[in-house]
Amino acid sequence: MSVADTLAEDMIAGGDPSWLLRETGYELLRESTFETRFALSNGFLGVRGGLASHLGACRAVPPRIYVAGLFDTPTPDSVVPELVPAPDWTQVRILLPDGPLMRCPDRSSRALTLDMRRGALFMEARQTCNAPLDVCLRSLRLVSLHARAIGMQVIELRIESGVSDLTFEAAFGPTDFELAPERAELDLKAWRTWRSGRSLAIAAAASLEVDGIERQPVLRGDLTWNWSWTAQPGQIVTFRRIIAVTRHHATDVHAGARARKELAAARTLGWRGILARHEAAWAERWRCSDIRVTGDDAAQAALRFAIYHLNGAANPEDPHVSVAARALTGDDYRGHVFWDTEIFLVPFYALTWPEAARTLLMYRFRTLDAARAKAAQMGCRGALYAWESADSGSEVTPAQTVGPDRKILDVLCGSQEQHISADVAYAVWQYWQATEDEAFLQEAGAEIILETARFWTWRAALEADGRRHIRTVIGPDEYHEGVDDNAFTNGMARWTIARGLDVAALVQARWPETWARLARSLDLGEPELAHWREAAEAIATGFDPATGLFEQFAGFSALETVDLNAYAGRSVPMDVVLGRERTQRAQVIKQADVVALLVLLPEAFPGASGGTNFDHYEPRCGHGSSLSRAMHGLAAARLGRAEAALSYFRRSAAIDLADTHVAIGGGIHVAALGGVWMIAILGFAGLSLRADGLAFDPCLPADWQSLDFRVRWRGRDLAVAIDGTTRVLRVALDRGAPMTVFAGGAAFVIAMDRPLTVEGVGG
């Protein structure tokens, strides 16, 4: 059996369809969507899921290969860095004497299969039109989760009929973002970015066999190979290419040597060894993070798709980078990092892959000086993180953009959307609650929380009414700019200051030497901490005890009320429908704002006010952001509204999986995928973090017969099973010391030999 047959059979025959993503046929206008949906990534290398070869004129979009952290500005006068596309290492051409072999493949035969269980992409196409050869082409592609510098490609050609001279060319395609060449040799190329001074090196090896016999190339150049022979019926042609990529944050004369070292190790393993270790790495990730749902096949498939992309987005080995808004799957947002990472992704990583969560937060620690500089620019102490961040942590939000009416608009998020500094602190605290990683807290986490708490104390100005106000901000609802006392911003600011005080007390009590170092380096003492206590109490909240409502921002209630039901079925956001100016004068919300506060700080909503606020703001939200429905779904699940939450779950998953009006050519909406996981685990399973254990309050949708998953908590591995029919919760401790679990209003101690079964939960 041939290589491609073996791989195809392993991936497809008898497999659970929820592990496979398939598309058959070919449509030019949808190719960009396919490339996003079928992307491969290991947190360092990203490869969009396009065709394995340039099939004549059928290629509609340029290939995209990404290397995490490879930023540069596109022109000398540009100030906004972008993630630089790397040279396309997947490029091949298969030539007949009169042109490309695959100039007109049978479109109905073209098939893509993404094996999410193994992180591998399989493609098949057939040549059937008037050509001297009938050929079946199959390919396998992967980027190694075991050795992140390594990518591998296997292409098989079956010559089914015909005789013709045939040429197979393998090369590295150009990129539309120019790189300065530094070095070019037969097995290696190295470049540097023009302005940021980053180094990129790629080493590669390739081989071609005809009927199992290796052929030497007739031409050989810098990372190029060319083979020619006479194709005969029955021949099986196998092409293999292994590449090794290294990136360095400064021009590095040793970059080529490091790439060659990585390549040499991969070649020693061979393609089967590379595949085996890659599969083992994916198997471990799935062991820790898989979710199994019975009774809802669509939900099962959506969760597998979400977890596949989440596991492929992070690299726990590199604290210089974080997960961008589109991860390594597309060009949208230029590879920049937003609040998405801390609020929508860190929960998944903290509870299934703490090493990855830690690295993402270490990125924020490495960029803390840039956050301090931004705070200082506006006259505050402490740290204000960039709304859009690249490699250095400096603010890289574009100053202007083009609106729907083609007018130039000022972008104010970079200066006014300041809740990012509370979001980062929130993620640090959630990671600490989930892991109790003492080394991280002492090395980085405490300093982040202290400096963001300090910022909010300075930012919230004491006024004549005796309250502290935070004026001229943008909350998560970006339709309204320059508002005062945004409930989400103020609530998160109060929370951050309170956590700053908690961290100060904790570090003083448990690690006095660490506290002495921090107090000295930050010039932080008890008089300032006393000031923080006063500030946290005095920040305006916008909460009205009479109605139980938080006013989204000062004056929101006086704005025009708009019935969004009248615009059902629209295909564009509400700010486009109403126009920018009217939207700013209306109670039309871009995305979860007060509802987001309800999700993150449920304790801030006394009594029944959580449901009151949800019911008030849900009909006012236009969901103009891919993040919004996930927040609403999680809030609905926690309120016990499982079916409403399931509707939001499906619509969040559909952003990337359904062929709707939402364009995904610019990359996967990875935060929405994190939100899908959050609805399932933090919503339907009702998992929440406590200082003394984990709590469960399940609320499964009617169709979900069961929900099974695993989580990690403070060095422990837990297996959780929820039976929606019998309303039974089972929690087993597979590794680690005994711990406390809360369920059904009671506390239970579980151990490896003492699992927990609780009846009558959920419903």
Which residues are part of the catalytic machinery?
478
DSSP, residue by residue, 49-87: ---SS--GGG--S---EEEEEEEE-SSTT--S-EEEEEP
CA dihedral 635, 637, 642, 647 (to 10 degrees): 50
Q: Which of 168, 176, 94 is nearest to 131 (CA)?
A: 94
Tokens of 28: 């030019």
Cα→Cα distances 108→125, 135, 140, Å: 9, 15, 19
Q: Do the Cβ atoms of 458 and 382 come closer than 8 Å?
A: yes
Rg of the chain over all Cα atoms, to the nearest angstrom: 27
Which uninterrupted H or E stretch holds 634? helix 628-638
Burial of 546 (0-12, 13-18, 19+ CB in 10 A): exposed
Tell me how long the chain is: 763
DSSP3 helix / strand / coil % (the chain, rounded to 5)? 40, 25, 35
**φ and ψ at residue 720, rounded to 5 degrees:** -120, 135
Alpha-carbon distance of 445 to 503, in angstroms, equals 9
Closest CA to 215 of 206, 225, 207: 207
Range 403-410 contact pairs with CB under 8 angstroms and sequence separation of 24 or more:
403/580, 404/572, 404/575, 404/576, 409/580
Contact between 457 and 535 (Cβ < 8 Å): yes
- What is the DSSP track for 274-289? HHHHHHHHHHHHHHHH
Cβ-based neighbours of 607, under 8 Å, separated by 6 or more: 548
Q: What's CA 44's distance to the chain center, in Å?
A: 13
Contact indicator for 402, 92 with CB cutoff of 8 Å: no
Angle between helices 670-678 and 642-657 (to 10 degrees): 150
| Interaxial angle between packed helices 446-459 and 354-366, expressed in degrees from 0 to 180 and rounded to the nearest 10 | 50
Cα 71 to Cα 83: distance, rounded to the nearest angstrom: 5
Which strand (E) or helix (H) includes residue 3? helix 3-12
Positive or negative, the CA dihedral 651, 656, 660, 661 is positive
Angle, nearest 10°, between helix axes 609-617 and 628-638? 150
SS3 106: coil
Q: What is the largest CA-CA distance in the chain?
A: 90
* Residue 728: closest CA among 751, 713, 708, 712: 708
Residue whose C-alpha is closest to residue 694's, from 742, 661, 658: 742
* Start-to-end CA span in the chain (Å): 52
Burial 194-213 (b: 16+ CB within 10 A, else e): bebebbbbbbbbbbbbbeee
Could you tell me how many helices (H) and strands (E) the chain has, helices first? 22, 34
